[in-house]
Amino acid sequence: MKSKKFIISTLSVLLAGLMLTAGLQITADPLFQYHTPWFGMRPVLTDERYQYAGVARNFEYDQVILGNSFCENFRPSAVENAFGGTAVKLAVSGSTTKDWALLLEIIKQRAEPPKNIFCNIDPYSVLSTDPQADATVPGYLYDRNLLNDVGYFYNFGTLSIALDAIRQNLAGTVPDVDAAFLRDARGKEAVINSRDAIDVVEEEPSTPDALARASGNLEVLLPYIEAMPETEFRFFFTPVSILYWYKVREEKNTGCWRAVFPMICETLMEYPNVRVYLWSDDEMLGIISDLDNYVDEAHCSPEVCGIMVRRMREDTGLLSPETYREKIDRLFEYADGFDYASLIG
């Protein structure tokens, strides 16, 4: 009888602990899977991959910043000031078009479609990533299957996030959501010293392969453009620094890029709810040539991201069937003729 009572008591304590843990997770909901913060608490953003599915599902917004690390330095307030409404940033570092599609699936299911979705076209996700590769985000947080959320209820990592969110709210130290995941420019010397090694390439990469990858990645996104005709999709070619263009040249990727850029434009411009931007005017060429505007060789500062928002609002750099080749050619001609020796010695 004593053994039976001990087992019952132990199981009761264990069950109570499990219920308490699950209750805390659901109440605090640090990943925002079921609701926005309760009791007047402010959201604490610490993990893009794990939290942005909940943000996309439950936050109020009508403007979306979608993309990877190239969009991390956008401030939602910059979009709100330029376009009005309420903006959220759903830019996940190292994400791919497959990841973006999972977020777009959540956005598509909302009662009201967003007015604008801003998204980058960059050397990583669209131009070089295998479109058949698996998504990099935790799928169980992005689907509607409640049964696989058990891993969320009893996850010590998310429990730690929940407790930290409560602590920061009680202490009044919650960081400004508008500045979440921002990285400041590091300056010319730091950018040059931290640049990635250039791969030694004997043969020029295959242009047909590059076109196939880019086309495959676009095919991942096109169904959502078609499914949300009331939403304006604003795609922009990422203004990587001139140091990155040097890497492109040395790795013999210039030919691939010259072929891929027009194909992307031609594909996207077929849709009436898509705007495509590429900046090759004097102001932007001056910006990409000044490494003080960059965090590293690829990622520009929050200030430059603010300039891009302003330009999209003014439709500066907006491509059309009549102008896109001229603007692409000007960018490539500038990069081809740049005096790289004066930059890096």
Query: Residue 296 is part of which domain span?
Result: 63-145+180-344
Per-residue pLDDT of 103-119, as tens digits, reads 999 999 999 999 999 99
Identify the three-state secondary structure at position 294: strand
Would 50 be classed as within a structural domain? no
For the chain, helix, strand, coil in percent to 5 are 55, 10, 40
Per-residue pLDDT of 180-235, as tens digits, reads 999 998 889 999 998 888 888 888 889 999 999 999 999 999 999 999 999 999 99
CATH number reported for the structural domain that contains residue 338 in this entry: 3.40.50.1110
Q: What DSSP designation does 62 have?
A: S
Q: What is the pLDDT of residue 79?
A: 98
User: Whole-angstrom distance between the N-terminal and C-terminal Cα of the chain?
Assistant: 84
Provide the token pair at 90.
């759903």
Would 57 be classed as within a structural domain? no
318's torsion region: left (phi>0), alpha (psi -120 to 50) or beta? beta
Would 160 be classed as within a structural domain? no
**Rounded CA gap, 317 and 278, in Å?**
5
Q: What is the pLDDT of residue 12?
A: 54
Check whether 17 has a pLDDT greater than 60.
Answer: no
Q: What is the pLDDT of residue 321?
A: 97
Mean pLDDT score of the chain:
90
Q: How many residues does the chain have?
A: 345
The arrangement of strands across the sheet holding 232-237 comes to: 87-91, 63-67, 116-121, 232-237, 274-277
Give the residue-averaged pLDDT of 296-302.
95
Dihedral sign from CA coordinates of 211, 216, 221, 222: positive
Total domains in the fold of the chain:
1
Q: What is the pLDDT of residue 123?
A: 79
Would 290 be classed as within a structural domain? yes
Would 42 be classed as within a structural domain? no
